[in-house]
Amino acid sequence: MAVFTGAGVAIVTPFKENGEVNYEEFAKQIELQIAGETDAIIVCGTTGEASTLSHEEHLDVIRYCVKVVNGRLPVVAGTGSNCTETAVYLSQEAEKAGADGLLVVTPYYNKATQKGLYEHFKIVADSVKIPVILYNIPGRTGGVNILPETVVRLCTEVENIVGVKDATGNISQVAKMMALADGKVDLYSGNDDQIVPILSLGGKGVISVLSNIAPKQTHDICAKYFEGDVEGSRKIQLDAIELIDALFCEVNPIPVKKALNLMGLNAGPLRRPLTEMEDANAQKLAKAMKDFGLL
């Protein structure tokens, strides 16, 4: 059974002006996601700026999220690292905290081979009992790509590796993987502009940046598709394309934090080396948000 089906929000981590995690605002955003019918919370992923959280902060944010959600929907914790031992540590601590599943990114910088990727993910998964979702995002990992055969092998041979968040953007690769999968791979779109195409290939849903500011609409893209209203699903997807483009006109999560702040939801500043959005891009984002009915 899938960890979740539908739209999971890759939730931001709000910061105070002094750089500390703003737990009060984080709780408010979690509640807004639940009210917006989000199907899962993915905490401490790319959008949550996990790469600039200390290990202690990282785990405290996961623990806090689990506490606030309190079983109302699944919490998937990002626990990946380019160091296998670190990924094991974070994964075990997230399991102890009560996370329902883990999102483990492809090791970055090291440039592991397919054999290395297999062993890395297997060691991490074997260290815990909860489900693991692989996170394939070559654009952030030095071009390292989990090939379809490796994804299928991991999901077949390692009991608690259940699927993949695919942010390759390569629909042909996804189609090949799902052709090999024989129903063994729970597929989630890692790109908001490809939710419907991924669902059409057998996807379970999306792990979404868009959902931070449009949870109901993102949920509905998936829900309508699964209800058989493909046209309704496609319409929301296409209506959101301008906004999605604006949310990725600078590196994530720069635009989505700006968007939340424009909506009066205090996401706060970014941690270096990320910087505030360029004025021209901020204007583009504000226009797209207005056109989509968010401002």
**Does 291 fall in a domain?**
no
- Per the domain annotation, does 116 fall within a domain? yes
How large a percentage of the chain has pLDDT more than 90?
A: 99
Burial of 39 (0-12, 13-18, 19+ CB in 10 A): buried
**What's the CATH number where 161 sits?**
3.20.20.70
The predicted structure's pLDDT at residue 193:
98
Residue 101 pLDDT > 80: yes
Q: Is residue 276 part of a domain?
A: no
- Model pLDDT for residues 212-225, shown as the tens digit of each residue: 999 999 999 999 99
pLDDT of 44 > 80? The answer is: yes
- pLDDT tens column, 24-38: 999 999 999 999 999
Residue 81 pLDDT > 80: yes
Q: Is residue 273 part of a domain?
A: no
pLDDT tens, 262-290?
A: 999 999 999 999 999 999 999 999 999 99
Q: Is the pTM of this model over 0.85?
A: yes
Mean confidence (pLDDT) of the chain: 97
Give the integer Cα–Cα distance in Å for 213 and 209: 8
Position 287, amino acid = K
Q: Considering its fold, how many domains does the chain have in total?
A: 1
Q: Is the distance from CB of 79 to CB of 103 less than 8 angstroms? A: yes
Query: pLDDT tens digits for 116-157?
Result: 999 999 999 999 999 999 999 999 999 999 999 999 999 999
* Active site residue ranges: 135, 165
37 bridge partner residues? none
Preceding omega of 253 cis (within 30 degrees of 0): yes
The boundaries of the domain holding residue 36 are 6-229
Longest dimension (CA), the chain: 50
Residue 181 is assigned to a structural domain of this protein: yes
Q: Is residue 181 over pLDDT 80?
A: yes
Q: What is the DSSP string of 151-166?
A: HHHHHHHSTTEEEEEE
What per-residue confidence (pLDDT) applies to 1?
Answer: 72
Is 279 among the domain residues?
A: no
**Interior angle at CA 39, CA 203 and CA 169, nearest 5:** 35
What mean pLDDT comes out for the span 246-259?
98
**Domain contains 270:** no
